[in-house]
A and B are shown apart, each in its own frame.
Chain A
């Protein structure tokens, strides 16, 4: 089965001729079904613009973007594109249009002409997945940031997409809201939904399959999170910082060579710790 998203030498600029503001240069990208990719890069590196190319919200100035074999420039297929790839944006409030949670989730399916009882089913299911069923009757302005984002996600889920793009969806949330959203993303991954997440929280990145680094409108690196975070000089050049656990692992490695410096999460650190201790103890036992 081919990639569900394919970006071919896409460039993008705002404005025309002399007043052109270039944002992306010759970007290539592929997303396979079920993959979870993180996109990082400094402010203004073009990551958000790139995200909007993925569902056809923006069309590339040159190059092509294909979603499940359909070109995003195909006007007739607009609905299919919007259904296949959903985007959850940064501002929790500015995505919810209706006055009741349920109705807002139904907004998407209504737009694409889904029959009434099917809409009901989708709304109920979406609410379940994001864990907001008891909030179905509430007005949006009474929800916390994290809850609003979960509703935004539910609204996208109701379109039954094969891929969801998160464009800095946790930036405006507090730690708790962020955790809520990350839990939902993990759930979606378990269900086989492909994920693209634009973020600048390095702790989120460690759990993804692949990381793509943007810089000045170009993709400069594509690798696993571990590969990215263990090269600290390169990270600094990208204006990025390794997650705290990794810095601690590095520090411990300097004291004790056996301790691997490429650990990224608390769980990995604890596991590595116990591993080294056992190894050392066995070594001691053998030599005595």
Chain B
């Protein structure tokens, strides 16, 4: 089966929570979003911008009240038919995923998903082994570890492995590194990068960390108050100083440095980001200003 050009296509999506109750409020208004197969797309925005609501539409947890959501060629509608199949191919890793683990031993929890889909025991073991080795929890030594004895970072790996064991085409990650210590964070980001570059899976991730966006994303969507504000390549978005300030998005410090220098009158490439690039640009500028 060949991959469609677009893994995800969302058009004119609107959603209101607690509709019909006195507590109702709008979460999404006329939102669009596209991710090509194999791309890595980031969604950023302030709290309350609708990011979480949007991603819940991507695997059918929420069905669009108005608008279209098309995932891997399937049109998500009110019908419950496809939901099961969609959820195997489009997985969502929610925030604090370690809160959802319920089995006693590592391998059992990871095997839960594949077992639900009726795969043979042999196949399930294969999948679990592959997933565990990928995330950095060696199958042989970790399979019978009790989950309660694991650290936060390790538990998160178990949660991710549980999703990878389903062999999904699309991975949606909601703030995957939130709450992790620096070492675990780096490790996880590196794994996500591998999923995108080496295994060609489509990655969609929500984050508040601009460093992560800089590291992983091909393209970025910016949301605010439930609507699209901007989208483009990572470079394009970081270069939009005014936008970033207006929506208080926050940039990696490297970008902040570049923008400040530009604001002070120096001539720099405004789409610079990341440590190496910034070092190169600043050094270049130093020589220019002098020579």
Instruction: Tell me, yes or no, whether A and B come into direct contact in the complex with CB atoms closer than 8 A.
Output: yes
When distances are taken between beta carbons in the complex, the residues of chain A under 8 Å from B175 are 174
When the two chains form their complex, are residues B47 and A176 in contact, meaning their CB atoms are under 8 A apart?
Answer: yes
Whole-angstrom distance between the alpha carbons of A245 and B257 in the complex? 8
Does B254 reach chain A (CB closer than 8 Å)? yes
Does B9 reach chain A (CB closer than 8 Å)? no
When the two chains form their complex, are residues A277 and B289 in contact, meaning their CB atoms are under 8 A apart?
Answer: yes
When the two chains form their complex, are residues A175 and B290 in contact, meaning their CB atoms are under 8 A apart?
Answer: no
Question: Which of B26-34, B78-86, B178-186 is found at the contact surface with chain A?
Answer: B178-186
Does B283 reach chain A (CB closer than 8 Å)? yes
Q: Which of A179, A255, A276 has the most CB of B within 10 A?
A: A255
When distances are taken between beta carbons in the complex, the residues of chain B under 8 Å from A244 are 211, 252-254, 275
When distances are taken between beta carbons in the complex, the residues of chain B under 8 Å from A144 are 47-48
Does B208 reach chain A (CB closer than 8 Å)? yes
From B179, B253, B290, give the contact of A277 (CB < 8 A): B290
Per-residue interface assignment for chain B, residues 218 to 258, with 1 indicating a CB less than 8 Å from any chain A CB and 0 otherwise: 00000000000000000000000000000010101110110
Does A42 reach chain B (CB closer than 8 Å)? yes
Distance in angstroms from B82 CB to nearest chain A CB is 33
Does B279 reach chain A (CB closer than 8 Å)? yes
Per-residue interface assignment for chain B, residues 249 to 291, with 1 indicating a CB less than 8 Å from any chain A CB and 0 otherwise: 0101110110011001000000000011011001101110110
When distances are taken between beta carbons in the complex, the residues of chain A under 8 Å from B275 are 244, 247-248, 251
Which residue on A lies nearest to B48, using beta carbons?
A144
When the two chains form their complex, are residues A270 and B264 in contact, meaning their CB atoms are under 8 A apart?
Answer: yes
Does B151 reach chain A (CB closer than 8 Å)? yes
When distances are taken between beta carbons in the complex, the residues of chain B under 8 Å from A240 are 182
Whole-angstrom distance between the alpha carbons of A146 and B211 in the complex? 20
Per-residue interface assignment for chain A, residues 257 to 288, with 1 indicating a CB less than 8 Å from any chain B CB and 0 otherwise: 00100000010011001101100110010000
Does B70 reach chain A (CB closer than 8 Å)? no
Q: Which of B191-239 contact A (CB under 8 A)?
A: 208-211
When distances are taken between beta carbons in the complex, the residues of chain A under 8 Å from B282 are 248, 252, 273
When distances are taken between beta carbons in the complex, the residues of chain B under 8 Å from A274 are 264
Which residue on A lies nearest to B264, using beta carbons?
A270
Does A63 reach chain B (CB closer than 8 Å)? no
When the two chains form their complex, are residues B151 and A176 in contact, meaning their CB atoms are under 8 A apart?
Answer: no
When the two chains form their complex, are residues A273 and B286 in contact, meaning their CB atoms are under 8 A apart?
Answer: yes
When distances are taken between beta carbons in the complex, the residues of chain A under 8 Å from B48 are 144
Count residues of chain B with CB under 8 A from any CB of chain A: 37
Distance in angstroms from A198 CB to nearest chain B CB is 12
When distances are taken between beta carbons in the complex, the residues of chain A under 8 Å from B256 are 266
When the two chains form their complex, are residues A248 and B290 in contact, meaning their CB atoms are under 8 A apart?
Answer: no
Count residues of chain A with CB under 8 A from any CB of chain B: 39
Whole-angstrom distance between the alpha carbons of A210 and B285 in the complex? 34
Whole-angstrom distance between the alpha carbons of A174 and B48 in the complex? 12
Whole-angstrom distance between the alpha carbons of A105 and B70 in the complex? 47
From A203, A241, A251, A259, give the contact of B276 (CB < 8 A): A251
Q: Which of A191-212 contact B (CB under 8 A)?
A: 200, 202-203
Known contacts A176-B248, A203-B253, A270-B257, A259 near B264 by CB under 8 Å:
no
Does A61 reach chain B (CB closer than 8 Å)? no
Whole-angstrom distance between the alpha carbons of A203 and B182 in the complex? 12
Whole-angstrom distance between the alpha carbons of A274 and B252 in the complex? 21
Whole-angstrom distance between the alpha carbons of A145 and B175 in the complex? 14
When the two chains form their complex, are residues A277 and B286 in contact, meaning their CB atoms are under 8 A apart?
Answer: yes
Which residue on B lies nearest to A243, using beta carbons?
B253
Does B46 reach chain A (CB closer than 8 Å)? yes
Does A43 reach chain B (CB closer than 8 Å)? yes
When the two chains form their complex, are residues B289 and A280 in contact, meaning their CB atoms are under 8 A apart?
Answer: yes
Known contacts A266-B253, A277-B289, A200 near B283 by CB under 8 Å:
no
Whole-angstrom distance between the alpha carbons of A146 and B46 in the complex? 12
Known contacts A247-B275, A274-B264, A252 near B182 by CB under 8 Å:
no
Whole-angstrom distance between the alpha carbons of A105 and B261 in the complex? 43
Distance in angstroms from B251 CB to nearest chain A CB is 10
Does A239 reach chain B (CB closer than 8 Å)? yes
Which residue on B lies nearest to A203, using beta carbons?
B253
When distances are taken between beta carbons in the complex, the residues of chain A under 8 Å from B152 are 43
Distance in angstroms from B186 CB to nearest chain A CB is 8
When the two chains form their complex, are residues B286 and A276 in contact, meaning their CB atoms are under 8 A apart?
Answer: yes
Which residue on B lies nearest to A244, using beta carbons?
B253
Whole-angstrom distance between the alpha carbons of A247 and B211 in the complex? 14
Per-residue interface assignment for chain A, residues 30 to 48, with 1 indicating a CB less than 8 Å from any chain B CB and 0 otherwise: 0000000000001110000
When the two chains form their complex, are residues A245 and B253 in contact, meaning their CB atoms are under 8 A apart?
Answer: yes
Does A128 reach chain B (CB closer than 8 Å)? no
List 9 interface pairs A-B (beta carbons < 8 Å), by A numbering: A43-B153, A175-B208, A175-B210, A176-B47, A202-B182, A248-B257, A248-B282, A270-B260, A280-B290
Please give 13 more A-B residue pairs, beta carbons under 8 A apart, in addition to A251-B278, A266-B253, A277-B286. Answer: A43-B152, A172-B178, A174-B178, A174-B208, A175-B208, A200-B181, A200-B182, A244-B254, A245-B253, A248-B279, A252-B286, A280-B290, A281-B289
